[in-house]
Amino acid sequence: MAYSNTLWLLLPYFFLAGVVTGAKVPAVIVFGDSSVDAGNNNQISTVLKSNFQPYGRDFYGGQPTGRFSNGRIATDYISEAFGLRPTIPAYLDPMYNISDFAVGVSFASAGTGFDNATSDVLSVIPFWKELEYFKDYQTKLKVYMGIEKATNIISEALYIISLGTNDFLENYYTLPDRRSQYNIEQYQVFLSGIAEKFVKSIYDLGARKIAMTGLPPMGCLPLERTTNFFGGNGDGCKDEYNKVAFDFNLKVSAMVKKMNKEVKGIKMVFSNPYYIFLQIVRKPSFFGFETAAVACCATGMFEMGYMCDKYNPFTCSDASKYVFWDSFHPTEKTSHIIADYVAKRFLYVFR
């Protein structure tokens, strides 16, 4: 396929020793969806939560935190790679305060998207609200650190933006409204426009080092493979969805290049997990996994959230053998591999 890549292109990055060290990044600040939500959804009224077992069973102390994983997520590993704390807390988590958030914070909400209509589906935090939390965070940081130190943290921090999958799978391909307004390419342009406006907003608030994360090959999620199978199309990845992700990534990448040319003082990268994720799915044994077709939790075919609870007898005993934890999210091991690749391939420029 035109949007595939060869494994050997990834090997130099996969086998590089060590991690990104000596980074001039005092904090990692995160916006996005369940790929980077550290538990904000715990504090809102929504069915989309994961603050119960078996989620978090491989996290520190075996505690479910609201991360959609058996353990840590990619941004936790990225924070650690930059010599910061090994976990990034959720902004709404009452267990943490501004002293914790000064070195890393996540405003992300599982189920959200660039499109406000996406967040409405499961009553989660809309993307624009994450920006409001960031403004509130800045006010608190200036009180805690003093204006000069806080301003330095805000300008030198690494900003990670990771979302978009829900806009397509939860919204566009599930509900009729956006499909009646846009064809798929028009919707991609609509979303990338929102992404650009968001970047300009955080830039105006002081952000300078920004990583815009691309979409994974979302047609290879166990949920989509299951849907493909029951639709009579075999148990492989849904190629149409992978192409949508690939094409959207091209648009976002072009936006990043445009911003670097036009916006003074910005340093922005397109952090693309597509190829490494696709190679893990296609050759799981090469990366130490036994399967990518189904997830660890429950039957591994369609469950996530409350359908993936501690009473389900089908949940696997060893998540490290699986690429996916639930039907929509990777295991801690997969997140670690992807974060390591992303840090070395894209985020090294912020050292």
326 assigned to active site: yes
User: Catalytic residue among 33, 34, 167, 336, which?
Assistant: 34
Evaluate whether 211 touches 160 at the Cβ level (below 8 Å): yes
Any alpha helices (H) in 95-205, and if so which ranges? 98-101, 116-121, 127-145, 147-156, 165-166, 176-181, 184-204
User: Catalytic residue among 35, 37, 329, 340, which?
Assistant: 329
pLDDT digits (tens, 9 = 90+) for 259-300: 999 999 999 999 999 999 999 999 999 999 999 999 999 999
User: Catalytic residue among 326, 327, 335, 336, which?
Assistant: 326
pLDDT digits (tens, 9 = 90+) for 321-347: 999 999 999 999 999 999 999 999 999
336 assigned to active site: no
Region 74-95: mean pLDDT is 98
pLDDT digits (tens, 9 = 90+) for 221-234: 999 999 887 665 66
| CB environment 323-351: b (16+ within 10 A), e (fewer) | bbbbbbbbbbbbbbbbbbbbbbbbbeebe
State percent of the chain over pLDDT 70: 92
Alpha carbon distance 322, 7 (integer Å): 20
How many CB atoms are closer than 10 A to CB 266? 17
Query: Model's pTM, two decimal places?
Result: 0.93
